[in-house]
Structure 1
Amino acid sequence: MAYRKQYVSWSDLYTNESYWLIEDTVSLELASGIAAKTAKFITNNGKSWITGSERAEYLQEQYSRFMSNIRTKTEFACALGGVVFKPYLLGKQIKVETITADRFYPVEFSSDGEMTAAVFAEQYTSGKTYYTRLEYHRLDAESGAYTVQNKAFSSSSPNSLGNECSLDDVDLWSGYTPNMVIQEVERPLFAYFRMPDVNNIDVGSPLGMSCYKKASEHIRQADQHWEKIMWEYQGSELAVMAESSMFKVDHGKAEIPKGKKRLFRILQGSGDGNFFKEFSPAIRDSALFHGFNRILQRIEFDCDLAYGTISDPQTVEKTAEEVRASKDTSRSSMQEKQKALETALKHLVWIMNEYADYYKLAPAGEYETMFEWGDGIAIDREAEYARRLQLATAGKYKWEKLIAWYFGCSEEKAAELIPEPAPLFGGDANVIT
């Protein structure tokens, strides 16, 4: 019977609940591994900070807490196509909730693809009752009015909203306002971090796609091919076929020596005079592993990963040009994802600044969000410093950029750290008399 392709959700792939994981087929956790590696490539060696004023210092304090585990948030975005960063006020602090794609529902988009309305879901369980809170956000671009609505529902099933109830039924939600309208808002008060790849499932949709979206079929093949490799080892395991008369008999049953049950197989009279037969077939592991590695290389191609990222780097049968091209493709893809993350983080900081204005959390002032991205490869900091120093000495790199990179500050602050040039012959002036 021909295999009929089925579809599996990105979430099922990520949590190892794919439909083919039955009987002896186990998950190699390729999807979660690819999402984790991609997130590391995006965030490794990356830095972001806020500078500029007393307001900037307050924003930096809030921002640094959020950025402390940005890799984990990025992994969720890679796996599920995107996440939403939604700030909220807790005392005098601005916290940020990271909402995965399975917990928010887009409603409207602007002409440039920015999400302007969405519903966010939160669930709480008490005994056998499941409470769900839906938080609706909508920006009216023409009037600048921003609407936030909260509604609660109770049900006996986690998969059903049930009937509407009061927000006060759940202590955690009792402080939420059912309906609020804020005037003169320029952008949504949530930031959407989406994977930049084109949506080829719903063409034209501004929603993001999982970083392993194209590889789901090959991930299935890899899981099932690995099961074949395991069966090859189990099926070709050394065994000795022996007649029952060669063993001690207890109550009419031949007993295999303790610890040898895996080795011996009892035969009830072979009839050919051979009391022992050895079973030791050749193992076809080389061919099977070669096929398995080919599948992994196809997954690397699907996910814009350089050859050798998850496949065996010692068996990459590619020319030097093909290997270089795959690395360039991977680097370009990661840079696009870094740019998408940067866009979302700038939006997030803008929202934090709006909150600081609205709730008067810090004195007004200018701020600038700074970024420095790596290429996803661990670097030797001393070697990199020597390289940049050489460029600066040759006049091909600004000194303030070198200082800013080394100390992790703004270029304006770095310029203040650069000493004035000393006079050539002492005194107060650089003048030869």
Structure 2
Amino acid sequence: MGIIQTLGMWKERIMRMFKGNIKNEFGVTGITSNAMEDAITNWMDVYQGKAPWVDHTKGIKTIKFAKAVCSETARLTNLALGITFDGSRKDYMTEWCERAIMPNLRRWVEYGCASGTIIIKPNGVGADFVTPDRFEIVGKDGNGLIAGIIFEDRYRENDKYYTKQEYHRFFDAKVNYGDGDYKSVKYYQISNRAYVSSNSGELGKEIELSQTKWNTLLPDVSITTKNEVGLNGMMFGVLRMPAANDIDVDSPLGMAIYSDAMEELKDLDIAYSRYSEEVKDSRALELIDRRLVREPGHKVNEEVELDLPKHFIPVSGEGDQEFYQAVERPLKVDERIKGINAQLSYIGYKCGYSNGYFAFDQKTGMVTATQVESDDRRTIQLIKDIRDALQVCLDQVFYAQSVFADLYNLAPVGNYTANYAFGDITYNFEEDKVHHYNLAVRGIYPWEEYYVKFLKYSREEARALIEQAKSENQADGIEYDEE
């Protein structure tokens, strides 16, 4: 049994154990279909370079282009992203966002592109991100959004394996205020259960949280706002890719950005493997009579041969005449590149990119639309849709962290508003440089700003250069307008 097959079976066993335990412990059942779980596993295998079509015995390898697509999408989504806050809680939210979210956001978006869905879960101090293999959805609301979920966290210490299952859901309760008047309050409840096992593939027995690294958590905690009006959302953010789910239409989970291009990714790997194989085997061959490669001083019938380079192949000549022939092996580079670019075009389109965004050049390798001509409209729409989904996710994350701040007095009571600014994905530095140069020549744009922004001088160096140019021009009788 191969190692990949073994790992796949182990992951299935863990998932079955996860599902079985939540039903026994919490009395709930996961709603994610087997087809959806299989699809997510397949997407992540392809992303990690473990595609099922990889077969080294047949010379078929992978260039992990699924990861390249996810990486490029995450780069464009986060391009020049700025998040600012207004309101009395501005300073606290800014500090927390800069520390817990911004350094990780591009990486998290890339994982979201690969798996279709990730969850960003504030933990009070920082934030955790969770992939679909570590949570099970057990409920959804009328809008199809997650309303009940169980997270799983695991770690190993010495020869013991520890697991925590964390159940999030809403429930309504009647509260008596002492005057016989009961008020319905919507609570958010989190239940934590810990387990220990000596086997990584088993959940083991339940133990107290105090015996684990999660010793600061309570087994059960109910959360509401201080005025008991109830929370407006779950205590985490969900980043779901915008494409519709055609595997399980009722699932709250999203689709990997390359989910519709799996067959083309396979064909691309095969095409590139054949191209690479042909390049490696393209050296010229020289067929030479064995009688020409004997070591000197030996008889003709003695089987002693020289150690020849690989491109020399000894053959048996016929007749009395000695034999030699050079065999050239011309490369079909143009045909191979055309085939690869056809696959790249299919993949890019199915992932939501404009035609021609991804291309392969035999001199420079893989390139993107910043280097080739393309119509950017599809790409712009794709990135806008993902940015919108990311903004929804971050709004949920910031709300959850603000609730934590109230509950644990992490910051003074107050309000905040999050503001988002995304960079223009069609921005071209050289065009911008020429544009601002022309503005500076016309006196509309300061030369100091031009030197700093486009020529990368420090502000002091820019001012010195401007003063020097001004002095020299005045000495020559030329009026100089630095603005």
The interval holding the TM-score normalised by the smaller chain is 0.7 to 0.9
* 2:289 equivalent to 1:255: no
The question of whether the paired residues in 2 share the 8 Å contact of 1:244 and 1:254 is answered with: no
Deviation at 1:254, TM superposition (A): 4.3
The question of whether the paired residues in 1 share the 8 Å contact of 2:337 and 2:361 is answered with: no
Q: Deviations over 1:269-295 (max 9, x none)?
A: 344835112221332222122111101
Q: Paired residue for 2:341? A: 293
The question of whether the paired residues in 1 share the 8 Å contact of 2:340 and 2:360 is answered with: no
* 2:222 equivalent to 1:176: no
Point out which structure has higher relative CO (alpha carbons under 8 A, 6+ apart).
1
State the alpha-carbon separation in 2 of the partners of residues 157 and 294 from structure 1.
Answer: 48
Q: How do residues 130-141 of structure 1 correspond to structure 2 at under 5 angstroms?
A: 130-140=161-171
Match of 2:409 among 350, 357, 360: 360
Deviation at 1:238, TM superposition (A): 0.6
TM-score (norm 2): 0.70
Match of 1:16 among 40, 43, 49: 49
* 2:115 equivalent to 1:77: no
Q: Paired residue for 2:193? A: 151
State the alpha-carbon separation in 2 of the partners of residues 279 and 18 from structure 1.
Answer: 37
* 2:144 equivalent to 1:113: yes
CA change 1:299–1:69 in 2 (3 A) is: same
Deviation at 1:380, TM superposition (A): 4.6
State the alpha-carbon separation in 1 of the partners of residues 269 and 349 from structure 2.
Answer: 17
Deviation at 1:356, TM superposition (A): 1.5
Equivalent position SS for 2:359: coil
Question: Which residue identity does 1:18 align to in structure 2?
Answer: A
Q: Paired residue for 1:275? A: 323
State the alpha-carbon separation in 2 of the partners of residues 293 and 269 from structure 1.
Answer: 45
Question: Which residue identity does 1:177 align to in structure 2?
Answer: L
State the alpha-carbon separation in 2 of the partners of residues 33 and 159 from structure 1.
Answer: 32
CA change 1:41–1:272 in 2 (3 A) is: farther
The question of whether the paired residues in 1 share the 8 Å contact of 2:43 and 2:256 is answered with: yes
State the alpha-carbon separation in 1 of the partners of residues 119 and 133 from structure 2.
Answer: 11
Q: How do residues 319-334 of structure 1 correspond to structure 2 at under 5 angstroms?
A: 326-334=375-383
Match of 2:277 among 209, 212, 231: 231
Q: Paired residue for 1:241? A: 287
Equivalent position SS for 1:312: strand
Equivalent position SS for 1:291: helix
State the alpha-carbon separation in 1 of the partners of residues 241 and 140 from structure 2.
Answer: 16
Deviation at 1:382, TM superposition (A): 11
Runs of 5+ unmatched residues, structure 1: 1-5, 315-322, 391-433
Deviation at 1:359, TM superposition (A): 1.6
State the alpha-carbon separation in 2 of the partners of residues 271 and 106 from structure 1.
Answer: 79
The question of whether the paired residues in 2 share the 8 Å contact of 1:331 and 1:375 is answered with: no
CA change 1:383–1:163 in 2 (3 A) is: same
Q: How do residues 47-62 of structure 1 correspond to structure 2 at under 5 angstroms?
A: 47-53=82-88, 55-62=89-96
Question: Which residue identity does 2:218 align to in structure 1?
Answer: T
Equivalent position SS for 1:144: strand
Percent sequence identity is 26
Q: Paired residue for 1:104? A: 135
Equivalent position SS for 2:52: coil
CA change 1:15–1:129 in 2 (3 A) is: same
Deviation at 1:27, TM superposition (A): 1.4
Question: Which residue identity does 1:175 align to in structure 2?
Answer: T
Q: Deviations over 1:196-247 (max 9, x none)?
A: 1100111232211111111111111111111111232344421111121111
The question of whether the paired residues in 2 share the 8 Å contact of 1:133 and 1:150 is answered with: yes
Question: Which residue identity does 1:282 align to in structure 2?
Answer: P
TM-score (norm 1): 0.78
State the alpha-carbon separation in 1 of the partners of residues 112 and 319 from structure 2.
Answer: 66
CA change 1:270–1:215 in 2 (3 A) is: farther
Equivalent position SS for 1:357: helix
The question of whether the paired residues in 1 share the 8 Å contact of 2:122 and 2:400 is answered with: yes
Runs of 5+ unmatched residues, structure 2: 1-37, 173-183, 225-229, 363-372, 440-483
Question: Which residue identity does 1:291 align to in structure 2?
Answer: G
Question: Which residue identity does 1:56 align to in structure 2?
Answer: K
State the alpha-carbon separation in 2 of the partners of residues 270 and 278 from structure 1.
Answer: 17
Q: State the 4+ residue runs in structure 1 displaced beyond 6 angstroms.
A: none
State the alpha-carbon separation in 2 of the partners of residues 143 and 216 from structure 1.
Answer: 48
Q: Paired residue for 2:227? A: none
Q: Paired residue for 1:199? A: 245
